[in-house]
């Protein structure tokens, strides 16, 4: 497996102002203060590898001996021979600072900066994998993001990657949540049409939503 430590993160002031809606409460000055507080606490790292799909069932795929059970993942990998499991984290420093912040709004600001850092690092990781393996239009799925691919699938994902804790300091709790919490895991794969889980997820009021829920799209997957 390949470890990226550090993985580059870009947090432009304008993006921070927009995402935190700072225009009416401090603007760019507050954004810069928050970034100055957050930057030393970020420890962005990622681990990934190339893995070969050995078999495909109706609603599962076997990847180098590990079975992933998901109808949606199976359909997304219809034409794929490989996938790219990864775990990415920005470390625990910023979430600890946020938890210790007495002010709820300040806590929210720091938590959101950690999320933005994850998004930026994830983009870098996807670009790097695309370039390294000559792939275009990479899409991704994460265990637990859809009912069809539950969080229990973290186990084969981490097993497929190897010693993730040693590589990037991310471990799973008994309930299969990641520690540090500001981490993301999943698989990337080449897709003809970009796949975004949010299109299949009816959850209300999700700040991370990247695409509108699409009932017709959901029906094409038979879920
Ligand atoms: S809408 Fe939110 S919860 Fe649903 S898949 Fe997208 S980011 Fe995840």
Task: For 169-180, write each residue's pLDDT tens digit.
Answer: 999 999 999 999
Q: Are the CB atoms for 111 and 123 separated by under 8 Å?
A: no
**How much is the pLDDT for 213?**
94
**How much is the pLDDT for 193?**
86
Average of pLDDT values for 68-74? 97
Which of 140, 146, 208, 211, when mutated, tests ligand 1's pocket best, judged by the most ligand atoms within 8 Å of its CB? Answer: 208
Confidence of residue 62 (pLDDT cuts 50, 70, 90): very high
Judge whether residue 3 has pLDDT over 90.
yes
Cα distances (angstroms) measured from residue 88 to each of 23, 61, 136: 31, 23, 21
**How much is the pLDDT for 223?**
84
Average of pLDDT values for 49-54? 98
Average of pLDDT values for 64-80? 96
* Cβ of 202 less than 6 Å from ligand 1: no
Cα–ligand 1 centroid distance for 221 (angstroms): 17
CB atoms within 10 A of CB 205: 5
Confidence of residue 205 (pLDDT cuts 50, 70, 90): confident
Confidence of residue 192 (pLDDT cuts 50, 70, 90): confident
Cα distances (angstroms) measured from residue 188 to each of 25, 83, 110, 119, 196: 38, 6, 28, 14, 11
Report phi then psi at 56, rounded to 5: -130, 125
Pairing of strands 66-69, 60-63: antiparallel
Cα–ligand 1 centroid distance for 29 (angstroms): 31
Q: Where are any strands of DSSP class E within the chain?
A: 2-4, 45-48, 51-56, 60-63, 66-69, 82-89, 138-141, 171-172, 178-179, 183-190
Average of pLDDT values for 134-151? 94
37-46 pLDDT, tens digit each: 999 999 999 9
Residue nearest to atom 8 of ligand 1 (CA): 145
- Closest ligand 1 atom to residue 200 Cα is 5
Pairing of strands 82-89, 178-179: unpaired
Distance in angstroms (rounded) separating the CA atoms of residues 13 and 151: 34
Max intra-chain CA distance, the chain = 55
Q: What is the DSSP letter of 211?
A: S
> Is the torsion defined by CA of 181, 186, 192, 195 positive or negative?
negative
- Closest ligand 1 atom to residue 208 Cα is 7
3-class SS at 186?
strand
* Cβ of 206 less than 6 Å from ligand 1: yes
Q: Are the CB atoms for 178 and 172 separated by under 8 Å?
A: yes
């Amino acid at each position: 497996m390949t470890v990226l430590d550090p993985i580059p993160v870009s947090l432009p002031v304008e993006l921070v102002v927009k995402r935190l809606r700072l225009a009416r409460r401090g603007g760019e000055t507050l954004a810069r203060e928050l970034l100055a507080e957050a930057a030393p606490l970020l420890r962005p790292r990622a681990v990934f590898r190339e893995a070969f799909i050995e078999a495909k069932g109706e609603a599962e795929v076997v990847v180098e001996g590990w079975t992933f059970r998901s109808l949606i993942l199976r359909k997304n990998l219809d034409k794929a021979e490989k996938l790219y499991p990864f775990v990415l984290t920005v470390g625990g420093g910023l979430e600890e600072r946020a938890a210790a912040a007495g002010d709820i709004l300040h806590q929210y600001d720091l938590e959101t900066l950690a999320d933005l850092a994850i998004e930026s690092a994830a983009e870098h990781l996807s670009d790097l994998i695309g370039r390294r393996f000559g792939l275009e239009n990479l899409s991704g799925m994460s265990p637990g993001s859809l009912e069809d691919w539950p969080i229990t699938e973290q186990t084969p994902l981490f097993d497929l990657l190897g010693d993730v804790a040693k590589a990037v300091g991310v471990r799973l709790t008994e309930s299969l949540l990641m520690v540090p919490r500001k981490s993301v895991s999943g698989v990337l794969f080449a897709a003809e049409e970009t796949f975004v889980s949010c299109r299949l997820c009816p959850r209300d009021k999700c700040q991370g939503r990247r695409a509108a829920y699409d009932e017709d799209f959901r029906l094409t997957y038979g879920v």
